[in-house]
Structure 1
Amino acid sequence: MAHSHSHGDDSSSPHSHDHDHDHVPKVTDDSERRIFWVMCLTGGFMIIQAIGGLISGSLALIADSGHMLSDTAALGLAWFAFRLAKKPADKKRSYGYHRFQIMAAFTNGVTLFFIAGWIIFEAIGRLITPGEVLAGPMLIIASCGLAVNVIGFFVLHRGDSDNVNMQGALLHVMGDLLGSIAAIAAAIIILFTGWMAADPLLSVLVSVIILRSAYTLVRRSGHILLEGTPDNMDMGLIRDKLIAYLPEIIDVHHMHAWSLTAEKPIVTMHVQIEPKADLETTLRTISSYLLSEFEIDHATIQLEHLNCEDLEVTDA
């Protein structure tokens, strides 16, 4: 029985791993810079908005400033994740530190749940015991907050939209943007009607939207952390297409797929081939086909002339 391993590259020998193969996806300086500047912008305005919320008595502003405080920390975590991901792979972490991005995204998603819960709790208290809100200052501060959040959203939105870490940061900023819109709407309603309940009610509406976004982020990042099969990858389809594409392939089994990050799928498989098939040629053909057909650039392939499952039964 012949065994072969490939990392989806053009290694000179099908019987060896290419240890110089780059396991670590590239982190762009652009994403890191975008996160950093939005973090500074959000943190700076958060202080102004918190003071304005206390002066005006607006729960919407206070809640949004609390959200911005969390966002500043979340953006800082996302920025640190990008910084850490630049560290090269070592003996203890052969894939480098890119998984920290997914951990940061998961953490950011979980914090959104707590923030939304706190806002809803405070809103219920305000509905039971309404407080006086100064609609004029509230409107001015909320409008400035909207401008800041629109800038931050625009900066992040033009970054890497497929990166889960960037998505987590973007969701936090989007929550702030919605909070500013709600505060503006509440201020206008109070200004023209005097209906104080508009402030906590619109805060609850924003919280519900935040919860939905948080669930999506936690579900996606959690799936990656649990090494689930990438959403866009059908292992049965890959198996069937490989067998149909190469006549020398008898069977494909022991297939596994997971993601290092959302942009970096990894696949392993055993491929049983005809005894007369050339190992190196078959290996290169399979690797090229996986890359061109399924955009899989990191595959570990074991070629064998006998099905390893049959061999295990025989040995037993």
Structure 2
Amino acid sequence: MTHAHIDSRNRLIIAFLLTAGFMFVEVAGGLISGSLALLADAGHMLTDAASLFLALIALRYSERKPDARRTFGYHRTTTLAAFLNALSLFVIVAFIVVEACKRLWHPAPVLSGTMLVVATIGLVVNVVAFAILHGGDRHNLNMRGAALHVMGDLLGSLAAIIAALVIMLTGWTPIDPILSVVVSGLILRSAWVLLRQAAHILMEGAPEHLVAEEVRLAIVERVPQALDVHHVHIWALSPERILMTLHVKTTELASNGKTLKAINDVLRERFGVDHATIQLEQDYCTDSEPPLESQSDLAHDHRH
């Protein structure tokens, strides 16, 4: 287990305990005060606790070694967890919006004092949990998904505090569901970004900072033996683990060992890729039709 994995695991465990523990406090506070903002945030914290637990399981599962059925290992489990966490945020937002509409049509009394106390404690808990997760591996989508859930809780607590203060000063209870919808919109935007990034990886998309044409040009310019680069495919098992395959046409006198080392050096130093499958070719690409001259030679050899 790497240091980064241990650090991420410990951060997730602490955030999970904080979130799950305070969720029960917020449910009680929401029921006593009658605040939709608190109850909505408590429901959000329930799903957050589940999402943090899912992130923990995914992190643990990703550490399993490759086997005959999963030759690349289980690195994708963290990306899959991030994808599911992003989807769950859409469900949460839909629930909060529906409940907010109901509350706007049928206003209910709110105990602003109780609501303010519970929301303030919740804000402190969520700030601590978010700081713990945000200080972890920011390139790990699994950690980002978990942090996004906690950030939603943080904003929900802040909205509940503002709503409680407004109700205490003016008695205007519609501020409670209105702020719930505003916070939901902010969460939805971040959830969409996370969902799109996770889906891009699951669909074998190339990382944004890697362009096939730039890879081709870099190899041709920096490796004298390389005449042409084609069939470049780039994808990622996770944001931290990028893979690549490519074909390289070389000069006739090129040494395969030295050429492969030079190409791998370019990929590692220029693009940060340390796992590439490279096919060297000195005649024609084996994935394409051979030139007419070669076809004639093959036919002649076949006849004899």
1:86 aligns with 2:56: no
Quick one: percent identity of the two aligned structures? 47
Q: SS where residue 95 of structure 1 aligns?
A: coil
User: TM-score scaled by structure 1?
Assistant: 0.90
Offset at residue 25 of structure 1 (A): 8.4
Assess if the C-alpha contact under 8 Å between 1:74 and 1:169 holds in 2: yes
1:306 aligns with 2:283: yes
- Alignment partner, residue 17 of structure 2: 40
Q: Given the alignment, which residue of 270, 274, 280 partners 1:293?
A: 270
Q: Given the alignment, which residue of 132, 139, 161 partners 1:155?
A: 132
- Alignment partner, residue 130 of structure 1: 107
1:202 aligns with 2:182: no
- Sort the Cα spacing of 1:306 and 1:25 in 2 relative to 1 into closer, same or farther, 3 A: farther
What is the letter of the counterpart of residue 311 of structure 1?
P
Q: Given the alignment, which residue of 151, 154, 174 partners 1:177?
A: 154
Deviation digits for residues 169-188 of structure 1 (CA, Å, limit 9, x no counterpart) = 00000000000000000000
The number of residue pairs the alignment matches comes to: 293
Offset at residue 40 of structure 1 (A): 1.1
Assess if the C-alpha contact under 8 Å between 2:218 and 2:266 holds in 1: no
Offset at residue 264 of structure 1 (A): 1.0
Deviation digits for residues 96-118 of structure 1 (CA, Å, limit 9, x no counterpart) = 11111011000000000000010
Assess if the C-alpha contact under 8 Å between 2:26 and 2:42 holds in 1: yes
- Alignment partner, residue 301 of structure 2: none
Please list every run of at least 4 consecutive aligned residues from structure 1 whose deviation after the TM superposition is greater than 2 angstroms: 24-27, 309-316
Q: SS where residue 67 of structure 2 aligns?
A: coil
Q: Distance in 1 between matches of 2:3 and 2:199?
A: 22
What is the letter of the counterpart of residue 14 of structure 2?
W
Q: Distance in 2 between matches of 1:36 and 1:90?
A: 28
Offset at residue 157 of structure 1 (A): 0.8
1:109 aligns with 2:86: yes
Q: Distance in 2 between matches of 1:220 and 1:289?
A: 27
Deviation digits for residues 22-70 of structure 1 (CA, Å, limit 9, x no counterpart) = xx98852110111011111100100110111011000000000000000
Assess if the C-alpha contact under 8 Å between 1:27 and 1:85 holds in 2: no
What is the letter of the counterpart of residue 29 of structure 1?
I
- Alignment partner, residue 258 of structure 1: 235
- Sort the Cα spacing of 1:85 and 1:272 in 2 relative to 1 into closer, same or farther, 3 A: same
**Counterpart mapping for 1:215-294 below 5 A:** 215-294=192-271
Q: SS where residue 290 of structure 2 aligns?
A: helix
Relative to structure 2, which stretch is displaced further, 250-259 or 88-97?
88-97
Point out where structure 1 has 5 or more consecutive residues left out of the alignment.
1-23
Assess if the C-alpha contact under 8 Å between 1:27 and 1:82 holds in 2: no
- Sort the Cα spacing of 1:99 and 1:131 in 2 relative to 1 into closer, same or farther, 3 A: same
- Alignment partner, residue 302 of structure 2: none
Q: Distance in 1 between matches of 2:230 and 2:272?
A: 20
Aligned-residue Cα RMSD (Å) equals 1.5
Comparing both chains, which one has the higher relative contact order based on Cα–Cα distances under 8 Å and sequence gaps of 6 or more?
1
User: Larger % of helix: which?
Assistant: 2
What is the letter of the counterpart of residue 136 of structure 1?
G
Assess if the C-alpha contact under 8 Å between 1:257 and 1:267 holds in 2: yes
Q: SS where residue 126 of structure 1 aligns?
A: helix
- Alignment partner, residue 19 of structure 1: none
Assess if the C-alpha contact under 8 Å between 1:27 and 1:86 holds in 2: no
Q: SS where residue 277 of structure 2 aligns?
A: strand
Deviation digits for residues 277-305 of structure 1 (CA, Å, limit 9, x no counterpart) = 11100100110111011111111111110
Point out where structure 2 has 5 or more consecutive residues left out of the alignment.
299-304
Q: SS where residue 93 of structure 1 aligns?
A: coil
Assess if the C-alpha contact under 8 Å between 1:291 and 1:297 holds in 2: yes
Offset at residue 307 of structure 1 (A): 2.5
